[in-house]
Amino acid sequence: MTTSQPRPNHYDLLVLGSGEAGKFIAWTLSSKTGQRCAVIERRWLGGSCPNVACLPSKSFVHSANVVHDAKHGNSYGIRDADESVEMVAVRERKRDMVDGLMDMHAGRFKNFGVELIWGEGKFVGKKSIEVTGESGKTVLTAEKVVVCTGSRAKIDDIPGLKAAKPLTHVEILELDVLPSHLVVLGGGYVGLEFAQAMRRLGAQVTVIERNARLLKNEDQDIADVIVGVLNKEGVKVCTGTTIQQVSGESGTSVTLKGLASGKSFEVTGSHILCAIGRLPNTENIGLEEFGIQLTGKGFIETNENLETPSEGVFAVGDCAGSPHFTHIAFDDFRIVIDVLLHKPLPPNRKSSRQVPFTLFTTPELAHVGLREHEASNLGIKFRTAKLPMGGFLKTRTLGETAGFAKALIAEDDTIVGFTALGIGAGELLPVVQLAMKRGLPYTDISEMVITHPTLSEGLVFLFSGVPAKEN
Ligand SMILES: Cc1cc2nc3c(=O)[nH]c(=O)nc-3n(C[C@H](O)[C@H](O)[C@H](O)COP(=O)(O)OP(=O)(O)OC[C@H]3O[C@@H](n4cnc5c(N)ncnc54)[C@H](O)[C@@H]3O)c2cc1C
Ligand SMILES: NC(=O)c1ccc[n+]([C@@H]2O[C@H](COP(=O)([O-])OP(=O)(O)OC[C@H]3O[C@@H](n4cnc5c(N)ncnc54)[C@H](O)[C@@H]3O)[C@@H](O)[C@H]2O)c1
């Protein structure tokens, strides 16, 4: 009779990187099936979202918004508010929140029976990962492997940029002094959220964007309002600007030189934030040696089920090129767990999902579905309903009426796109998303009874204003 040898380093599931999708896959598989699951993490327990990205940046943005409101306290009846900002307090508030999130994560690993293995992981076989940690190297093997290594801030090869030691979203969240002049390279999501927040905290802020306008994927009317709001608050926005040379060092003095509309351009600030996009963490971890292919941009190639050509190996989240949002990474978890639990999936499960997003400036920019220019390019016939945020009566109680909402309505009365630029706009998305997902006519929203005065109530007025069909 033969007895099987115990294999202490063998798992049912190994996850490389503890980001959103990876941790939920391990927690769920372990708790639902009792399978032996482990997650390998080198630095951030639970990935970047709770440590250095979404949640801490929103804590920072909220601090800035409170400071902004206090500075305008007279209109709320606050007299003589002290406008000085203590950056250490801003940072400590953020750190306390992150500490709470870390306790929550540690508790979940324990409660769901998932092993957390600290160290840097690298493939040394198709389903073998070598982990280099404090106590040396260990090789772990598994029946199934999920790669969830995320992405990091890109730093361009502009001469002098790396030597200037630019801040990324990681370092800016740890500042204990307010920059006197922050130069933000890149006018995308990271750049705009931090630019407005730093301005509201009291820094001089210049945003440099190489495209001819900010938020190039959005309709022109959206970009115009955002630029208008930023300018009004004192953020200088330089579009169509190419930086060719950086000198000095962030934290003391840094000068950026280049061209703006063919003319020479120069700006000097105390700090520089590099916010020009992300690079996937997929190099030097042995992927290609073991049958896992990368796209030209370095993302891991997967099919609709997020499985790589290497059987039993999945890739999820930013490293797999999924749209870079935590809620999309969470949806990646739902796809992979269904595969692992042998649940049937529709053939286009990944490519047919909604990709909503909210940019957390004030006003917020919330969007789902098609923009006007996209619908037009696709040749879709649509009617547009548009309502200034002042028509969402709650905004008047808040004194925050900037922006507008618009909805694109197809010939069959279904909603094909929705964008809201306004205070709290992100909270308006789910009801519209549900109608879109179910293929409901827009009248199902305009005919709802929605409490007054909530922001959502404004959806009734927006959808009541859909123009009649042309005969
Ligand atoms: C400043 C900022 C703000 C953002 N705000 C939002 C927002 O408001 N809403 C939103 O939806 N999205 C937001 N995002 C995007 C969101 O953070 C990412 O899309 C999401 O965190 C990606 O999750 P992930 O699991 O793919 O990767 P990550 O969360 O990056 O997790 C990957 C993990 O793998 C680990 N790792 C990598 N390589 C190895 C290795 N070889 N060995 C061991 N461990 C490894 C990393 O340390 C990391 O912990 C923001 C991003 C940034 C930068
Ligand atoms: N609220 C949110 O959901 C949120 C917030 C932050 C980040 N994110 C996610 O993180 C991703 C990364 O954000 P990001 O802001 O780093 O990237 P991004 O792609 O959103 O924006 C980068 C911007 O930098 C510009 N740029 C690139 N190279 C440049 C250069 N050399 N000089 C000047 N401008 C340059 C680009 O044209 C672009 O406008 C986002 O795409 C988003 O998916 C989401």
* Residue among 169, 207, 276 whose CB has most ligand 2 atoms within 8 A, to mutate: 276
**Cβ partners under 8 Å of residue 91, min gap 6:** 173, 174, 175, 176
Query: Identity (one letter) of the amino acid at 100?
Result: G
- Of the candidates 184, 239, 185, the one whose C-alpha atom is nearest the C-alpha of residue 216 is 239
Q: For residues 105 and 23, give the distance between their C-alpha atoms in angstroms, rounded to a whole number.
A: 9
How high is the mean pLDDT of the chain?
A: 96
For tokens 């020009």, the residue is 276
Q: Are 186 and 271 in contact (CB under 8 A)?
A: no
Phi-psi map region of 400: left, alpha, beta (phi>0 left; psi -120 to 50 alpha): beta
Q: Checking DSSP bridges between strand 278-280 and strand 271-274, what pairing results, if any?
A: unpaired
Angle at 131 between CA 43 and CA 112, to 5 degrees: 65
For residue 46, give the ligand nearest its CA. 1
In the prediction, which pLDDT does 4 show? 65
The answer, yes or no, to whether any atom of ligand 2 lies below 6 A from the CB of 328, is no
| Model-wide pTM > 0.95 | yes
* Least confident piece of the model among 66-75, 232-241, 456-465: 66-75
Report pLDDT digits (tens) over 334-370: 999 999 999 999 999 999 999 999 999 999 999 999 9
The answer, yes or no, to whether any atom of ligand 1 lies below 6 A from the CB of 18, is yes
Tell me the mean pLDDT in the region 213-239: 96
Q: What is the token pair recorded at 233?
A: 């608050």
* Secondary element (H or E) of residue 98: helix 87-111
Domains located in the chain, CATH noted:
10-152+279-340 (3.50.50.60), 162-276 (3.50.50.60), 363-464 (3.30.390.30)
Residue 3 confidence (pLDDT) above 60: no
For tokens 């032996």, the residue is 36
Does the annotation flag 308 for ligand binding?
no
In this structure, the residue with its CA closest to atom 26 of ligand 1 is 317
Cis amide prior to 346 (ω within 30 degrees) = no
Report pLDDT digits (tens) over 386-418: 999 999 999 999 999 999 999 999 999 999 999
Query: Identity (one letter) of the amino acid at 235?
Result: V
* Residue 172 burial (CB count, 10 A): 24
Ligand 1 centroid to Cα of residue 1, in Å, is 49
In this structure, the residue with its CA closest to atom 20 of ligand 2 is 188
Report pLDDT digits (tens) over 117-128: 999 999 999 999
Ligand 1 centroid to Cα of residue 219, in Å, is 28
DSSP-based three-state secondary structure for 132: strand
In the prediction, which pLDDT does 237 show? 98
The ipTM estimated for the assembled molecules is 0.99
The answer, yes or no, to whether any atom of ligand 1 lies below 6 A from the CB of 40, is yes
Which are the catalytic amino acids? 452
The answer, yes or no, to whether any atom of ligand 2 lies below 6 A from the CB of 193, is yes
Does the annotation flag 188 for ligand binding?
yes
Q: How confident is the model at residue 136 (pLDDT cuts 50, 70, 90)?
A: very high
The answer, yes or no, to whether any atom of ligand 1 lies below 6 A from the CB of 285, is yes
**Cβ partners under 8 Å of residue 194, min gap 6:** 57, 60, 169, 172, 182, 184, 273, 275
Ligand 1 centroid to Cα of residue 19, in Å, is 6
For 76, counting Cβ atoms within 10 Å of its Cβ (0-12 exposed, 13-18 middle, 19+ buried), the class is: exposed
Cis amide prior to 363 (ω within 30 degrees) = yes
Q: For residues 446 and 439, give the distance between their C-alpha atoms in angstroms, rounded to a whole number.
A: 15
The answer, yes or no, to whether any atom of ligand 2 lies below 6 A from the CB of 209, is yes
Does the annotation flag 150 for ligand binding?
yes
Q: For residues 221 and 196, give the distance between their C-alpha atoms in angstroms, rounded to a whole number.
A: 19
In order, the DSSP letters of 314-368 are EE-GGGGT--S-HHHHHHHHHHHHHHHTT----TTTTTTS---EEE-SSSEEEEE
Closest ligand 1 atom to 54 CA: 5
Ligand 2 centroid to Cα of residue 191, in Å, is 7
Ligand 1 centroid to Cα of residue 59, in Å, is 17
Query: What is the Rg, in whole angstroms, of the alpha carbon atoms belonging to the chain?
Result: 24
Does the annotation flag 209 for ligand binding?
yes
